[in-house]
Structure 1
Amino acid sequence: MQYLRLSIFLIFPLFLFSQDFSNQWTGHYSYFEINDIYAAEDRVYAASENSVFIFDAETRTSETFSTINGLSGETISSIYHSSTYDITVVGYDNGLLELILDDEVRTFIDIVDQPTIPPTEKRINHFFENDDKLYISTEFGIVEFNLERIEFGDTFFIGPGGSQINVTGTIVAENSIYATTLNNGIFSADVTNPNLVDFNQWANPIPGSFRDIVIFNNQILVHQNLDLVQSLENNVLTTVFTAPSSIRDMYADSGNLTISLVDRALVLDTNFSETASITSTTEDSFELNTSLTINNEVYLGTNTRGLLELELSNPNTKTLVSPEGPLSNFTFGIEALNNNLWVVFGQYDVNFNPFPLQRRGISKLTVDGWFNISRDEVLGATSLSHITINPNNEDQVFISSLSSGLIEVNNNEVTNLFNDVNSGFESFVPDDSNFVFLNGSVFDNEGNLWVNNSRVDDGLKRFSPGATQTFNVDLSGLVSNPLGNLGFSDTVIDRDGNLFIGGWNSGVIGYNPNTENQIQLSGEAEGSNIPSDYVLALEIDRNNQLWIGTFRGIRVLFNPSGVFQQSNPQASQIIILDDEGVPQELLFDETITDIEADGSNNKWVATASSGVFYFSPDGQETLAHFTTDNSPLPTNNVRDISVDDSTGSVFFATEKGLLEFKGTATGPESNLDNVVAFPNPVRPGFNGRVTIRGLTSRANVKITDIEGNLVYEEVSEGGSIQWDTTAFGRHKVASGVYLILVTGEDQGETTVSKLLVVR
């Protein structure tokens, strides 16, 4: 009875109603890598890496589902739609099952949580619907799911002795159920047999390795030996078609069999004659994952070009029908400024190793949508990792490569690639331009771009746009073995023009361009108080304080300019009180990947394993903590953050997608003409903070009741402040009209606004 005990673990479903985050979040997922597609009526259901879209061929519109709507963000392996029950079913590599019904996502974790199945063998391979049952083919067996009752049924472990085997597909035909397996051949049984949980009820007459099974023109078709399509009848296989190369996928509709190869889609009629071949060419190349034909239209699910639509009668004209988005979900570096967001998809590991080199292009988000610069337009550059927008000319952008040098983009077009051949940037491997390791860069007040250059003596370069050569700063006195310092990360500049660089084992290096003095904060320097010499992130906040993110915690340098006059400069810990009043270090032992200050000087801190923290300006108060459990973040490893001061939006780059949080903290304005408070009115039940924005830098904000009693006062550090609607933190203010009096720093400009509070 062991097989019976194993089979009932899915009878009692463990499902969750997923949360919708669309009020505060926007998902900027990529739909250029298509893992699976399915067609029903006039709609194509497409699964990208970790999100789904439904393309309506009649209306030419798409509806998307992602972590914003409640999907998990894990890697999708299969998709299916039941027209009978109007349910879209999504299967994942890790065994997760999610259903989209009535625009609501339900998540089933039964397979994921099953301890008797190895975690690497839970992948969902295929769906097949028969009557009210959905047969789910997995790497361990077959699982029944009742679509009418929305619950799991039996599980069939059909391998020898009831063992777990990789089932690649399941179909039902003429009261028989057939299952193809990767290594154990084809199995069949009477689908009406009430005891299919008994492996002895399954026959295994045909050995071999089979990757797919479909019903086409009343025939059962399978493919094995990579390139053979065979008909199965009376347990006999007959070859009906031999593909020119390995078959990736087969899809059957009423009149067409569509076969996907890596470089082409073949459309066969009911006589297995080829009626169309859509082939990748040098001029029009694609890598195909899956394809299908419906209503005389062919849809190609490609690996990098999205979902392409074409007519059978005109296979040379392709239309992209994927929703717009960035080129890839593997977002690595981002930079936002004035409603524009630039995105790159470079890659290097914890040891600053970019190999194997990736060439993924550049993406840009504007108010009009996404604009993409393809991989073929970046002059051969790879591992694009860091973006700096020229503050004096926002149409000019410089992108560092941890391999190829520095890219210049003008008016959305890549115009130059500066490397060791045509500029002062250096390769640490002689005569090889694949080793020009540039990363963090920043503009100074004179319009010069300072860039760090890893693994060479002159580790800091001053580059003047329009020129080619560089002014070099020799850092070998602080980094005695440049080749041993595997890479530099960030570069920032303070109000006085001092440069600070973080690196792999160099701690923080400071450089004063006026005096050419250099300093270093590292674990080797006694009393420097740096928890790790591996510094990944630096940020100069609105109070000119240097925040330092390391491999093992966070530190602050309160007077960065003053360290050049100190013999032993020291960074400070941030000590907070936990819930029990015990002092502890903020983010102790956390790997900090980025730090950004928003318009209110609050700090956004990204980590490698704990999501994103949002702190007050001094770090003493945690305003929010976003993880995969309470937000649409698809992973807790967040690589980069960028804040758009003009809108308050905060962008998070992860290896599984790009997310936008609708923040409220904006940068300082030049005048007080647009001061506004929201929400206004404050309605009963509101427990958040009122945001007052449109402020100038260092503006004084006073809030009084209608009788003139002061209830709040603060000096802005950016373009906005937030009020918790209490009287100096003591108690909630009463219902009434409140006056917001704002005075500029020089007291030459004032404005008054009104705020209604209703309790």
Structure 2
Amino acid sequence: MKKLLAIVLSLCYCYLAMAQVGTWRNFLAYHYIQSICKAGDELFVLASNDLYQYNLNDQSITTYDKVNGLSDTHITYIAWNQKAKRLIAIYQNSNIDLIDTDGNIINISALYNKAMTEDKTITSISIDGVYAYLTTSFAIIKVNMQKAEIAETYTNNNPEYPRNLTPYQDDYDAYISTVSTLNPGGPAYNRFYESKFINGTLYTTGGYFLPAMPDNATPGTIQVYDGNDWMIYQEQISEITGYSYIDICCVDADPNDPEHVFAGGRCGLYEFQNGKLVTYYNKDNSILMGANDRGNQLGNDYVLVLGLKFDAKGNLWVLNSLGDGVSLLEYTTDKQWINHHNTKLTDDTSITVPGLSKMVIDSRGLLWFVNNNWQNPAVFCYDMNHDILLKYDQIINQDDVKYTSYAITSITEDKEGNMWVGTDVGPFMIQKSEIGQNKVTFYQIKVPRNDGTNYADYLLNGVSISSIAVDGGNRKWFGTNGAGVFLISADNIVEEANFTTENSNLLYNNVSSISINNMTGEVFFLSDNGLCSYQSNAVDPVQEMTKDNIHVYPNPVTPDFTGMVTITGLSYDADVKITTANGAIVAEGRSNGGMFNWDCCNKQGKRVASGVYMVITATSNGKKGTVAKIAVIK
């Protein structure tokens, strides 16, 4: 053992501060303080419908979420029961958690799981002895907080129906001055819609707008996460511009200056520098136009900018929906506007279609976007160099099956150059070989049933896709409307995972956007219930494997470590072998993008003995790679 420790100390390794593969993180807001409950020397704080705990003695803060034990999201009420020594937390969906000051959590799901036509929403709490009385429209629910069970349900016609309950009084007034100085971290708001990873930084927006759909008039929100801290962009913008600052639904950062950011929404285009507004563009100071409503051009409260994208040169491409004579615009690096309007972007009345959005530039330099509107759903491909626009609005697959889609929600490129399109009837692929043609096939992957027949099913056929992201291993992550997230293998055949709120720490089954930090493999899921992430086992590959870019962690592997050893800095689909010092192979496989994981077990599934193990790599075509070492202490 002494010899092994000496070897370990002599090795020089680089440890990357990355989470273990398979772990989840929640990024919840604790900005708006709603309720405070004193529990001895502790304060439980309900803020932005999330929960944290503050110790009055040592000033420590503990945040609660699904990752560390909560059963659900969006808490509406909390109350402390001194007799039972527990806090009751009521969720919007009528789920119930009981929490003590040590962080132990017990779930009471009977009301949440009960199938009934009546409204189960809990509207108030009363505390009496060890009991909590929960008021709903159909009954009062009596919860024994000591035994963690529902003790009784009193309907209105029950002679014992409690009629003089005293609503629970929290400690908000006594402690708001203290709590208002605390900083539990996290974003300011739980509203998230679109996101992009740019140079390791996550840019998010919190609004959504589509003509003829209900407008929530969501306050303008841009929240940026650099991996450690959150930056909230300037919010009091309507006071400066004189127009509403709402429904911000797209954002992009200047490739030459990541602090130079543009965002679009219902009321126009906004330019920021270091999080502060620089210029507001509308119909009065640019070629942007107000939305056309039945022949009338609206004012600056409806200058619809629902999509934008910087090109590699730093020119900004802007989509202006429902305009008359404008649609696709370019704002150049020398601050000149160029109109690239095309009649293919208009409807039967020659007005630009309503939902131009989701701009991406592929590896060929082609600009792609969609019309996410039920009247004229379509995919567009624009050659910026030759001013050629192609429109694809007939979804016909390779078997001549024609689909009627009412929503085309997303488009992205995979590692092989194919374009993936998300719709309300499932995902489709435009093959690399057809890109640039006037007519393309909306190809559907056929997944064999493997049941002894030759039958196959179309991949995720009928599943409403809301977002698509491709990781470093060319696996596809599909966000959906109602079915959570699907992870599909690089060959598009195997469903590797289906994360839902029921089987994982996903916050919401409606996922509006997925973004991947391909330097770390962390996958971020955005929704109206907040932001969460999952540490995947794939990162972007490197072009050439060298000693300097191969990293192994943790290293050394200590006896108490039970996770996966992670190896990064690999080329795409690299061949990886783990051997003993004398060359015996204990594990082998292929990298996911630029990452390989090892469970410290041999081929028989047994944990390996203490020692130094070699990581021997080669490229996918057999070219020799590099060698690294892993020290395992059993």
Measured against the shorter chain, the TM-score band is: 0.7 to 0.9
CA contact (8 A) 2:416 2:432 kept: no
Q: Which amino acid aligns with 1:449?
A: L
Residue of structure 2 in register with 1:100 after alignment: 99
Letter of the 2:577 counterpart = I
Q: Which residue, out of 119, 138, 141, partners 1:143? A: 141
Partner of 1:221: none
Amino acid in structure 2 at the alignment position of 1:491: M
Tell me the CA shift for residue 745 of structure 1: 9.5
Residue aligning to 1:61:
60
Task: Please say if 1:411 is aligned against 2:274.
Answer: yes
* 1:483-502 residue CA offsets vs partner (Å, 9 max, x unmatched): 58331231112222111111
Cα distance in 2 for partners of 1:145, 1:744 equals 61
Match of 2:492 in 1: 619
Q: Does 2:447 align with 1:576?
A: yes
**1:350-749 counterparts in 2 under 5 A?**
353=213, 355-377=215-237, 380-401=244-265, 403-429=266-292, 430=297, 432-456=299-323, 457-476=325-344, 479-481=347-349, 483=351, 485-503=353-371, 504=373, 505-523=376-394, 531=403, 532=405, 534-559=407-432, 562-564=434-436, 566-578=437-449, 580=451, 582-669=455-542, 672=546, 673-678=548-553, 691-695=566-570, 698=572, 700-703=574-577, 705=579, 707=583, 718-721=593-596, 737-742=613-618
- Residue deviations 1:187-210 (CA, integer Å, cap 9, x gap): xxxxxxxxxx645xx788xxxxxx
How much does 1:552 deviate? 0.8
Q: Distance in 2 between matches of 1:121 and 1:713?
A: 51
Alpha-carbon shift at residue 129 of structure 1 (Å): 3.0
Distance 1:359 1:425 in 2: 22
Change in Cα spacing, 1:738 to 1:746, as seen in structure 2 (3 Å) is closer
Query: Matched residue of 2:258: which SS?
Result: coil
Structure 2 counterpart SS, 1:620:
coil
1:424 aligns to what SS in structure 2? Answer: coil
Q: Give, in whole Å, the separation in 2 of the partners of 1:36 and 1:427.
A: 43
User: Structure 1: how far apart are the matches of 2:493 and 2:81?
Assistant: 52
8 Å contact from structure 1 (residues 440, 452) kept in 2: yes
Contact preservation (8 Å) 1:521, 1:530: no
**Bigger-Rg structure (1/2):** 1
Alpha carbons of structure 1 residues 75 and 690: separation in structure 2 relative to 1, 3 Å: closer
Q: Which amino acid aligns with 2:429?
A: V
Report the alpha carbon displacement of residue 755 of structure 1 after superposing the two structures with TM.
5.2
- CA deviation after TM superposition for structure 1 residue 110, in Å: 2.0
CA distance in 1, matches of 2:228, 2:504: 26
Alpha-carbon distance change, 121 to 152 in structure 1, aligned in 2, over 3 angstroms: closer
Q: Is the 8 A contact 1:450 1:462 kept in 2?
A: yes
Deviation at 1:608, TM superposition (A): 0.6
Q: Give the residue type in structure 1 aligned to 2:487.
A: Y
Using a 3 Å threshold, how does the CA distance of structure 1 residues 144 and 120 change in structure 2: closer, same or farther? closer
What aligned pairs does 1:168-247 form with structure 2 within 5 A after superposition? Answer: 198=160, 213=166
Q: Distance in 1 between matches of 2:560 and 2:346?
A: 57
Cα distance in 2 for residues equivalent to 1:413 and 1:756: 49
**1:44 matched to which residue of 2?**
43
Structure 2: distance between partners of 1:687 and 1:59: 32
1 CA distance for matches of 2:307 and 2:269?
11
SS of residue paired to 1:120: coil
Which protein, 1 or 2, shows the higher relative CO under an 8 Å CA cutoff with sep ≥ 6?
2
Q: Is the 8 A contact 2:322 2:351 kept in 1?
A: yes
**Aligned equivalents of 1:354 and 1:599: distance in 2?**
37
Distance 2:114 2:149 in 1: 16
**Which letter maps to 1:720?**
M
Which residue matches 1:133? Answer: 131
Aligned partner of 2:138: which letter?
Answer: F
**Post-superposition offset of 1:28:** 0.8
Query: 2:220, 2:245 within 8 Å by CA — same for their partners in 1?
Result: no
How far 1:677 moved relative to its partner? Answer: 4.1
Q: Give the match for residue 172 of structure 2.
A: 292
Letter in structure 1 aligned against 2:407:
Y
Task: Give the partner amino acid of 1:454.
Answer: S
Distance in 1 between residues matched to 2:320 and 2:247, nearest whole Å: 14
Contact 1:92–1:124 under 8 Å retained in 2: no
TM superposition shift of 1:574 = 1.0
- Residue by residue over 1:635-666, the C-alpha shift from the partner in whole angstroms, topping out at 9 and shown as x without a partner, is 21011111112222111111011102223422
With over 3 angstroms needed to count, the CA separation of the structure-2 counterparts of 1:368 and 1:375, relative to structure 1, is same
TM-score, normalisation: structure 2 = 0.82
Gaps of 5+ in 2: 1-19
TM-superposed deviation, 1:605: 1.1
Aligned to 1:347: 208
Query: Structure 1 stretch 625-634 or stretch 144-153: which is displaced more?
Result: 144-153
Return the alpha-carbon distance in structure 1 between the equivalents of residues 24 and 584 of structure 2.
38
- Normalising by structure 1, report the TM-score: 0.69
- Counterpart residue identity of residue 40, structure 1: A
Letter in 2 for 1:153: A
Q: Does the C-alpha gap of structure 1 residues 469 and 572 become closer, same or farther in structure 2, counting only changes over 3 Å?
A: same
Percentage of pairs with the same residue: 24
Deviations 1:586-622 (A, max 9, x none): 1111111111112222221100111011122232122
| TM-superposition CA deviations, 1:45-92 (whole Å, max 9, x none) | 222354211233443332211222232334423211233443111123
Q: Using the TM superposition, give the Cα deviation of residue 710 of structure 1 relative to its aligned residue in structure 2, in angstroms.
A: 11
Q: Which residue of 1 aligns with 2:153?
A: 155
Distance 1:409 1:750 in 2: 44
Q: Structure 1 residues 617 and 148, CA, compared in 2 at 3 Å: closer, same or farther? A: same
Which one is further off, 40-49 or 640-649? 40-49
C-alpha separation in 2, matches of 1:679 and 1:480: 61
Inter-CA distance 600–93: structure 2 relative to 1 (3 Å threshold) = closer
- Secondary structure of the residue aligned to 1:476 is helix
TM-superposed deviation, 1:631: 1.2
Q: Residues of 2 paired with 1:574 and 1:39: CA distance?
A: 56
Judged with a 3 Å threshold, the aligned counterparts in structure 2 of structure 1 residues 79 and 710 are, in CA distance, closer, same or farther, namely closer
- 1:269-348 alignment runs, 5 A limit: 292-294=172-174, 297=175, 299=176, 309=177, 319-321=180-182, 323-348=184-209
Deviations 1:379-403 (A, max 9, x none): 55321112222333222222221x1
Deviation at 1:428, TM superposition (A): 2.2
Once the two structures are superposed, residues 81-128 of structure 1 have per-residue CA deviations (whole angstroms, 9 ceiling, x without a partner) of 23344311112343322111342322112223445x644144151131
Distance 1:340 1:437 in 2: 26
Q: Hey, what's the Cα distance between the residues in 2 that align with 1:466 and 1:591?
A: 41
Alignment length, in residue pairs? 591
Which residue identity is paired with 1:753? Answer: A
Single out whichever of 26-35 and 628-637 deviates more from structure 2.
Answer: 26-35
Q: CA RMSD in A?
A: 3.8
Q: Which amino acid aligns with 1:609?
A: G
Amino acid corresponding to residue 290 of structure 2 in structure 1: S
Distance 2:497 2:463 in 1: 17
- Find the residue that maps to 1:112 and give its secondary structure: helix
